A and B are shown apart, each in its own frame.
Chain A
Amino acid sequence: MSLEKEIHFRVNGNLTSVEVPVTMNALAMIRDRLKLTGTKRGCEEGECGSCTILVDGVSVNACLMFAVDCDGRDLTTIEGIRTAEGLSPLQKLFVEEWAVQCGFCTPGMVMQGTYLLSQNREMSVEDIKRGIEGNLCRCTGYKKVIAAIAGALHATPRRGEEKEDS
């Protein structure tokens, strides 16, 4: 039996404590212990991006991360992306653009898209393609995913450029 360790962290805004085997990856902890099954288990080797989450605001593959390394950090999973008004602007665009086919890659795509948008940079279509190079879609729906991210980029005013309320 593997050594277990109690860790404390925030997930989607809530303080959480769990005891995890020190060899476990963060993906197993999120899905099997926290029962947040929106984060998908694809390859478990860092190749497909379906397990993408944000750790302290930065996108990572949960399958490559030691669960114990979540201690003290701030995690966001797909369950934490919606806003008080409902789906996030990027999620709405995934719906409007029909960027979802079977949906398996979608949580990872939305998380990586959310991270790219949070970088607050102008992005060309090439930059967006580059940005989602670590996310595989087996239904080959990349065009619509790219359209959704591009749409959100122009829908969200970049920091420092917010429109003034007159």
Chain B
Amino acid sequence: MTIEQYAAPETLDELTRLLSGGNALIFAGGTDVMPQTRAGARQFQPYLINASRVAGLRGISREGARIRIGALTTVTDILESNLLSEHVPVLVEAADCFASGQVRNTATLGGNLCNASPAADLAIPLLLVDAELELSSNDNGAPSRRVVPISDFFVAPGKTVLKPTEILTRVIFDAPPSGFRARFIKFGTRPALDIAVVSVGVAGATANMVFAITRVAFGAAAPTPIRGKKTEELLEGRLLVDDTILAASSAAQKDVSPISDVRGSAWYRRELVRTLTERALHDVA
């Protein structure tokens, strides 16, 4: 593929105008795009667009109950955010076991979600808080926006509902209520620079004096990061006693559809799903 144009727009308006013709490959940190294109796993397009200079898309803020994170926010920014450690420590936990210092300094939240790896670490905590993704585009000269719940965003490995003319601009969610407790566990063969063999996230809140799980999510256990709906149903409103935890970890195995690859066999991943779900539930119980 011959590249006809390279651009590094500095405003969102300029970026969405450039995208309105389609035929573009965007990069932000480039930590997925660079190795993928070098390995031939991904083709360049006639337009190569560097999104990393767009103003106003990096940063974490809170307005009332809503927390907003710009798509260009790096994993290091998340790891070092006091606002996030206070309100959603589970997102910071996921940033903490992400790649290495150098990669975290470059890798962006937007890139992690839009690359749509089934193992995308930041997707799991964001599934736990029902995050919404703001997608921006240019509709015949006018800026246009839509909001998609993260649970509807991923379609298949490497595929999302993003149209070729759209860009992810912000991730937005309600600051979890007090009494919210969550846990993210990533299983890999070593602590650093490892893509998850399986990852599990659980989150719950206290209602009527009872702490119960409301959300369960899995990474690298299905074609996309997923919610564990069967596990959630089983746990709804229930006290986290040992029997319930055991039943839930078996239910978790029905939520997933892992594949076998270099990191682990499907059988091994199913076993991990059960073990990690059990462990995560014990941790928050």
A residues in contact (CB < 8 Å) with B: 2-3, 5, 22-23, 25, 44-47, 49, 52, 58-61, 63-66, 68-69, 71, 112, 115-116, 130-135
Contacts and interface: CB of A to CB of B under 8 A. Distances in A.
A33 B5 CA distance: 22
A134 B192 contact: yes
Interface string B41-81: 00010001010100000000000000000000000000000
A132 to B, nearest CB: 8
Contacts of A132: 101
Contacts of B5: 3
Contacts of B29: 64
B106 A60 contact: yes
Interface in B113-162: none
Interface bin, chain B: 20 to 34
A22 B31 CA distance: 16
B6 interface: yes
A59 B3 contact: no
A71 B50 CA distance: 11
B6 A3 contact: yes
Contact of B191 (A25, A112, A133): A133
B34 interface: yes
B3 A3 contact: yes
A71 B106 contact: no
B105 interface: yes
B101 A112 contact: yes
Contacts of B48: 3, 22-23
Given A25-B34, A44-B38, A69-B50, A64 B103 contact: yes
A51 to B, nearest CB: 9
Contacts of A68: 6, 8, 50
B247 interface: no
A64 B106 CA distance: 9
A133 B44 CA distance: 31
A112 B193 contact: no
Contacts of A25: 34, 38
9 contacts: A2-B2, A3-B6, A22-B6, A45-B35, A49-B102, A69-B50, A71-B8, A116-B101, A132-B101
